[in-house]
Structure 1
């Protein structure tokens, strides 16, 4: 399992730890990934994702998983999230056609 957010694409970054004497040591900065279960209103089911804490706040701010995925770019999403986005769009289109 890679250390990458499934919704935002945020991953591992590298950099230097700099001491008081200005010595530089290479290090890795890991994203704050959490396993969460989010509910999709359109699909009426729960979805398990591994996302960053910042992405979780963004999902809440945009009004849920469905709204977040509707605005998200395909390149940033994982394969699992892309399939989920297509399912949600398909359900919304079916609901709009039925109405």
Structure 2
């Protein structure tokens, strides 16, 4: 299981641990991932995703999961999130 956000694509970064004596050793900075269930108003059900805290704030800022998917790029989304995005778009066109 990769440590990657399903909505933003944010993954691990690398850098250095720097001691007081300026000794440098390589380290990884991992994203703050959380398992959450977000509600889709169009589908009327919850969707379980593994997303970072920054993505959770962005979803809240844009007004929910449906509006987030409307503005998101397909290249940043995971395969499961892309399926949900297409499912939401299909349900919105059927309702309109």
Which TM-score band applies after superposition, normalised by the shorter structure? Answer: over 0.9
The size of the alignment, in residue pairs, is 96
Structure 2 unmatched ranges of 5 or more:
none
CA distance in 1, matches of 2:16, 2:53: 23
Deviation at 1:21, TM superposition (A): 1.8
Structure 1 unmatched ranges of 5 or more:
none
CA distance in 2, matches of 1:75, 1:17: 32
The reply on whether 1:75 has 2:45 as its aligned counterpart is no
The reply on whether 1:22 has 2:25 as its aligned counterpart is no
CA distance in 2, matches of 1:16, 1:3: 19
- Determine the structure 2 residue equivalent to 1:90: 90
Normalised TM-score (structure 1): 0.94
- Determine the structure 1 residue equivalent to 2:54: 54
4+ residue stretches of structure 1 with deviation over 2 A?
Answer: none
